[in-house]
Structure 1
C-alpha cells in the first residue's frame, strides 16, 4: 500500500509539473452504465402512466432527459438487441427474428463491447444483454453473468415447477402459468441477483484505473409475470382496466398482417390455445405486467442508489431502455411481434454529466442512435458502420434537433415515423407494395383507424413512401 501511495503521489506531482499532460483519475473517468429491461414499454409514472408504481425510475428520470418519442428498430428482443449493439438497422433479410445473432447475420460488425474494450474500458455484461450467450463477440466482455438456463422463468410454486419439469421430461405440454406471486425471499429472484452482482461490480470498479462499460439486462417485465407478493399487492385487482380498443373498432381497416397472434403467450398454462382472452384473464395479464414493472423498478432503484453511494454518478452516463414496446390488450393483442406503435414505442431515459437541464424530449429518436450516443458520451471513436446519430446534442440542450424521423420494422413491414404520421408498407420479394397503413396520431393516437386508403391522404402517403425507401438503411438489400 505504501509503494502504491508513492506511485500515486508521483503521478499527481508529474501532472502538476506538466499541465499539457492529463492523467485519467476516478473523478474524470467517463463511464457507461447501460440498463436494458426486457419488454418494458413506456409504462412508467414518469411517462404519465398514473396507474403504475415506479417511484425509483420516476425520481431518477426527473434528473435526466426522458425521451417521449423513442422507437426500437424491430419489435423482438433478439433482433432489437443485435441491432442496437451493432448500431446497424435490421435489413430485408438480416437481424429480423427473435434468434438473430450478430456473429451469423453481421459477423464483421464491431459490437459495442468490442468498441469499448478496444478503447481501454473494462466491459461487463450482467443478465440478458444479447439473446444468445455463445455469440463469438461475447469474448469481448471481461466478465459475464448470464441467466442460468431455466432461471429466467423464475417460478417458485410447486405447481409451476412441476409443470416445467413435466415439459422438460416429456417435451410436451405447456409451461407454468403466465403469472405467479408468493411470499418468497426477494434474493431468490434472478433480477434481484442481477442487480446485486452489478452493485458489487460498481464497488470494485470505482477503485480501478480503467473506465468501465457495465451492461445490466433485467428479465422483467418479460413473461411469465413472477414477482414477490408485495409487488402484486401494490395493485388493486378490481381497479385494473382493459384498454378501450381491446375489441377492434368497426371500420378499422387495419391489415391482419399488422397485428400479432401472440403465440408467445399461448405457450403458458392458463391461456386458451386459440381465441381471445376473457376479461378476467386479460386483467390478470395487466396486473402481472404492472407488478413486474414495479419489481424491476425496485431493482433499478437499488442499482442507481449504489452508483450514487460509490461516488460514480457524477462521471457515468446511464442509459435505461426497454428493448421494445409490448401490447397490453390493445387491438385484442398481447406481447410484441407487431408493427403497431404499442410495440415500436419504447422506454428511453438518459442521465449524463453532459446534462445541464433535465427535460422531456419530444424529438423522434431510434435505438440505432444509442451506440453512437454512448461512444460520444464516453469520448471514444465511433466505428464507421454505425447508422444512427448521436443524441449527445439533445442531452446538452433542449433546443437541439434530430434528423426528425425513425424507421422501424416487423416481418416484411417497414414503418416510417415523421411528425404525427406512422406510415407502414409491406412489399413482396419483388419489392412490389402489397399493403399499406397510415395513422395520424394527432387525430388517432391509439391507432384505431388505418387511413392510408383515403383520397385526402394520397399526397402524404406518396411522400412518406418515398422517404421510407430512401431511409430503410444502407444495407437493406443484404
Structure 2
C-alpha cells in the first residue's frame, strides 16, 4: 500500500497536476535510456529520463493488454479482480486510481486505450475523450477447453511479414485522435481560470503496438541505421513448453521469419517508438505553452513489451524481459531529484503512488497488492525490490506466475517445468537454473517454489479461470448467434454548439473565453490563471 507520506509533506500547497502517458507494447530493454547503444531515437523520453526518476527494472503484472491495464488501474493482481485475458470484465465496484484521485479533488480524464471490458467504460474517469481501439466485449475470451485450437482473433505473423512503411493505418488514425483530444483537453483546462481543480490526464497511445507499419517520415529516419537482428535464437525443438505454445498460438510453428522480414518489422517498430516520442514532445510543449509545466508531474510508462523476434518469439504473452519489462519515469524536477532506481517495481504500484503524489491519505486505500513508489522519489533508502506477476491469456493452459526479486526471476506453472534466471549474470535469460544441480540453485528454486505455492492456490485459480471462460463464451455465443447485438463500446460526445461560433453565445464572450492567455482591450496579457496553475510552490517547495 502507499507509504502515507504525501499528505504531511505538501498538504498546504496547490495540488500538482498529473499527466500519465502510457505507450502500448514498448519494450524497455531496447530504449536508449536503458541501452545507450540503442538505435531508437527518443529524445523527448530521454530528456524526461535525464531530469526524472527512472525505474530501471519496472515490470508489468501481466504481459497482455487488458490484464496489465486492470492491474495498473486497480493496484491489484489479475487473479484478485478476474482480469484473466483480453475479454475479462472489470467490475464497477473495484476502485481505480481515477476513483481515488477524484476523492482528492482531481478532475480525471482518459484519452486513449485502456481496454476496459464490460458495460462500465469509465471506471472512475470523469471524462473519457475518445473511444477505445479494441473491443470492450467478450469476443476475445481464451478457451482452455480447446487448448490446441487457434482462435480467429489471435495474433498471426501477417504483422511481421507485411511490415514496412504506410501512408495511413488504423493505429495512426487512433493515436492522432488521442493526441487531438488530449491537447484540446489541456487547452480547455487552462482556459477555465484559476479556480479549477487539479487534473489527472491519462494519455494512452496504441503505438508502438503491432502491426509493424509507420509513415514514410518515420521509416526514413532509420534509412541509414543498422537494424539489429534479434540476439537470441532458440531452435523450435529446444523451446520451453510455454514458448512452444506461443509459437503455435501466433502461427509461427514451422513458419520461420526471414531475416529481412524481421529487420523490416523492427525498423517499423523503431519508427513507431520515435512517433510515440514525438507525441510526448507535443504534450510537453503544450504544458509549457499553457504554463502548466511547473506544477505538473509527468509519468511515462507502458503496459508490456514486445519480444520482436528474440528467442524466435514475437509480440508479448511471456515473462521474458522483452515482453514483461516496461519503461517507467516519474518526472517532477521541482521536488524529485533525477536518479535511477535499480530495485524491481511494477506498474501495479502506480495507484498508491498517485495517491501519495496527490497528497492523499494512503491509509484510506482499500488493501491492494501494489506498494507506493513515493519513498523512492524523496529518499535514497532501499525499497522492496519485488514484483509478482500472473498470466492467464492466450498461449496458456493454466496460470503462469512470476516472482522477480533481487537478481532472480522465477516462473512457475502447474503445466510447465519451472524457470529460474540470474539476470545479473544472464540478462538474456539463456540458462534455466531451475534445472541446475548446483546447491545454490537448487535451494533458491525450492524457496521460490515454496513461496509461490504459499502465495497462489494454483488449482483454485485454474478452476476460477476455467469457469469464467465458460461463462463468458456462453454469453458471447448467445449474444452474437441470434438477435440484435448491443456493443459496450464507449461513444464520446462533443458539443460544437458551445465550442464554435454557432449563435449560442455572444461572439465577444466566446472569443474572450476561448483565448489563452486572456488580454484586456489594450492588448495587455493577464496571467492570473497561468500563475495559479504553474505555481512554483507546488508540493511544499
Q: Give the stretch that moved more between structures: 357-366 or 44-53.
A: 44-53
Long gaps (5+) in structure 1? 1-21, 152-167, 169-173, 267-271, 429-433
Counterpart check, 1:401 vs 2:382: yes
**Superposition RMSD on alpha carbons, in Å?**
3.3
Given candidates 210, 229, 236, the residue that maps to 2:216 is: 229
Q: Give the stretch that moved more between structures: 186-195 or 308-317.
A: 186-195
Match of 1:122?
A: 107
CA distance in 1, matches of 2:443, 2:23: 39
- 1:321-351 C-alpha deviation (Å, 9 max, x unpaired): 1101210111100000112222111111111
Match of 1:68?
A: 56
Match of 1:246?
A: 233
CA distance in 1, matches of 2:375, 2:230: 37
Counterpart check, 1:311 vs 2:291: yes
Given candidates 302, 327, 333, the residue that maps to 1:347 is: 327
Counterpart check, 1:101 vs 2:112: no
Higher relative contact order (CA 8 A, sep 6+): 2
CA distance in 2, matches of 1:108, 1:190: 29
CA distance in 2, matches of 1:260, 1:308: 48
Question: Post-superposition shift, 1:140?
Answer: 3.0
Counterpart check, 1:191 vs 2:175: yes
How many residue pairs get aligned? The number is 417
Q: Relative to structure 1, is the Cα distance of residues 420 and 102 closer, same or farther in structure 2, using a 3 angstrom cutoff?
A: same
Q: Relative to structure 1, is the Cα distance of residues 414 and 187 closer, same or farther in structure 2, using a 3 angstrom cutoff?
A: closer
Q: Normalised by the size of structure 2, how large is the TM-score? A: 0.70
CA distance in 2, matches of 1:425, 1:294: 36
Question: Post-superposition shift, 1:472?
Answer: 5.1
SS at match of 2:418: strand
Q: Normalised by the size of structure 1, how large is the TM-score? A: 0.79
CA distance in 2, matches of 1:85, 1:329: 30
Given candidates 415, 419, 438, the residue that maps to 2:402 is: 415
Counterpart check, 1:330 vs 2:317: no
CA distance in 2, matches of 1:357, 1:238: 34
Given candidates 360, 374, 385, the residue that maps to 2:367 is: 385
Question: Post-superposition shift, 1:354?
Answer: 6.5
Long gaps (5+) in structure 2? 1-9, 136-151, 153-157, 393-398, 465-541
Match of 1:436?
A: 418
Q: Relative to structure 1, is the Cα distance of residues 321 and 407 closer, same or farther in structure 2, using a 3 angstrom cutoff?
A: same
Question: Post-superposition shift, 1:261?
Answer: 2.3
CA distance in 1, matches of 2:182, 2:247: 33
Q: Relative to structure 1, is the Cα distance of residues 328 and 441 closer, same or farther in structure 2, using a 3 angstrom cutoff?
A: same
SS at match of 1:197: helix
Say whether the 8 Å CA contact 2:163–2:261 is kept in structure 1.
Answer: no
Q: Relative to structure 1, is the Cα distance of residues 62 and 471 closer, same or farther in structure 2, using a 3 angstrom cutoff?
A: farther
Say whether the 8 Å CA contact 1:221–1:293 is kept in structure 2.
Answer: yes
CA distance in 1, matches of 2:255, 2:289: 50
SS at match of 2:435: coil
